[in-house]
Amino acid sequence: MSEPTEVLFEVTRAHLDTGLRGIPVGTVRTSSVDPYSGLHYVGYPVSEIWQVGPEAAVYLLLNKELPDEGQLAEFKADLVRRARGFDTRALEMLKHLPKEGHPMEWLIAGLNYMGMTTKTGDYREDGLNVVARLPQLVAGIFRVRSGWGEPIDSQPELGLMENFVHMLGVPGGDADKLTQMMRVFYTLHLDHGGGNLSTFSGKAVASGLADMYASLGASMAGLYGPRHGRANQDCLNFLRSVPSSDPDEVEQFVRDQLANNGLIYGFGHAVLRSEDPRATIQYGLGAEICPDDELYKTAMAMRERAVKVLRENPKVSNPYPNVDAISGTLLQAVGLADSDFYTVLFGLSRCSGIAAQIIDERLNFRNGKGVAIYRCKFISDQQPKRG
């Protein structure tokens, strides 16, 4: 532990209006992001720890240690019990929401509804309930909004993602591959340090002692923005606009795009300075589940050629793929073709990590007193006026 008086960062005028980029504002125990080796959950590199699967990864974020067999079984049983407490009136409420609303707006409405009907006011209880129950809400959002039919009854004993895929009931989908994909997707998207916009917003709102559901609703509003979580939707749509999977043609497309001041979606990251290990894992998964998919081939060609072209520009600090460069491709290959829903899948996972961080900030930090209400300072550039 460092000395309380240790100077961590000198803030200069140049740091203002840059979105607090890189400025330390708190501590985090669930995860950290190294620019080169990427995401770590409680110190374990995600490139290794993702194999433990969804429930053990959530347990790790909550308890800061991996569960043994008995602890994992107990945790899973607890999630099953909590899932059974889902108030299905939330699914009825979804049927009254306007279809013009984005699925993320539905998720935010659903979280607030769950808060109104089932919150306990205890951050840990509510956080665990969200982990256990959100799959049912999100599956309901897919089914009601896509017109796939009535919500499907939950079977939580199947496991978090297994039950989610069961409740989705994707028409014509390959449930085994979708489950394999969702287990990886969920585990990889749980947490990404403390300073990303959705996590920061949720913790800030919780610091005013708003309940867990309202705080996560605020987080999800942050995630909804196209510069944050909605980038995965834009990324798939971008990839679909690449006319061919031939590497030379892909390279030409990237060059043309840059010449016209267009964006190369899925490349670069605020913190990372090498290929995002979450992308690396998913490129590998694609080789298993959809090696012949045309879009997967395009994504692989982009991985090679977009990096090559972007590296030619010394001003590009990170020319490497991030998690969004490939996740949408795999989701559509396993039957989830509507990219409007991708950010909701991101949110389904990220709510668990943010809940773990909120529990830490509210109940564990400062010897249990919790972090103080967020109150930063904005420097006024107005001269004092009279009269």
Residues of this chain that interact with ligand MLT (CB under 6 A) are: 192, 196, 270-271, 323
Alpha-carbon span 133 to 369, nearest angstrom: 28
| Nearest CB to ligand MLT, comparing residues 140 and 202 | 202
Minimum Å distance from CB 169 to ligand MLT? 28
The torsion of the CA quartet 343, 277, 301, 236, rounded to 10 degrees, works out to: 0
228 catalytic? Reply is yes
**Residue closer to ligand MLT (CB basis): 43 or 291:** 43
Report, in Å, the least distance between residue 175 CB and ligand MLT.
27
Question: What's the Cα-to-Cα distance from 109 to each of 45, 70, 114, 115, 253, rounded to whole Å?
Answer: 34, 36, 9, 10, 40
Of the pair 187, 196, the CB lying nearest ligand MLT is at: 196
SS3 (DSSP) at 321: strand
Element (H, E) at 217: helix 212-223
Q: How far is the CB of 198 from ligand MLT (least distance, A)?
A: 6
Q: Which is nearer to ligand MLT, 154 or 343 (CB)?
A: 343
Nearer to ligand MLT, 192 or 230 (CB): 192
The residues, ordered by sequence, that sit 6+ positions from 141 with a Cβ below 8 Å of its Cβ are 94, 103, 106, 107, 110, 341, 344
Is 154 or 327 the residue whose CB approaches ligand MLT more closely? Answer: 327
Pick the catalytic residue from 228, 293, 338, 340. Answer: 228
CA-wise closest residue to 242 among 295, 186, 165, 163: 295
CA 303 from chain center: how many Å? Answer: 21
Least distance to ligand MLT, CB of residue 276, Å: 7
CB atoms within 10 A of CB 172: 5
Taking the complex as a whole, the smallest distance from the CB of residue 220 to ligand MLT amounts, in Å, to 12
Residue from 234, 269, 276, 360 carrying the catalytic annotation: 269
Residues whose CB falls within 8 Å of the CB of residue 251, separated by 6 or more in sequence, listed in order: 301, 305, 308, 309
- Cα distances (Å, whole numbers) of residue 125 to 78, 130, 191, 305, 359: 11, 9, 19, 48, 9
Task: Give the helix ranges, DSSP H, for 84-196.
Answer: 89-94, 103-118, 123-146, 160-168, 175-188
Least distance in angstroms from the C-beta of 323 to ligand MLT: 6
Residue 253 or 267: which CB sits closer to ligand MLT? Answer: 267
State the minimum distance, in angstroms, from the CB of residue 98 to ligand MLT. 28
| Side-by-side strand order, sheet with 31-34 | 31-34, 38-41, 44-45
Helix or strand run (H / E) with residue 324 = helix 324-333
Q: Which one, 207 or 219, has the nearer CB to ligand MLT? A: 219
Specify whether 269 is catalytic.
yes
Residue 263 DSSP code:
-
CA distance 142 to 22: 36
| Cα dihedral 19, 20, 22, 25 sign | negative
Strand blocks (E) in the chain: 31-34, 38-41, 44-45
- Active-site residue list: 228, 269, 324
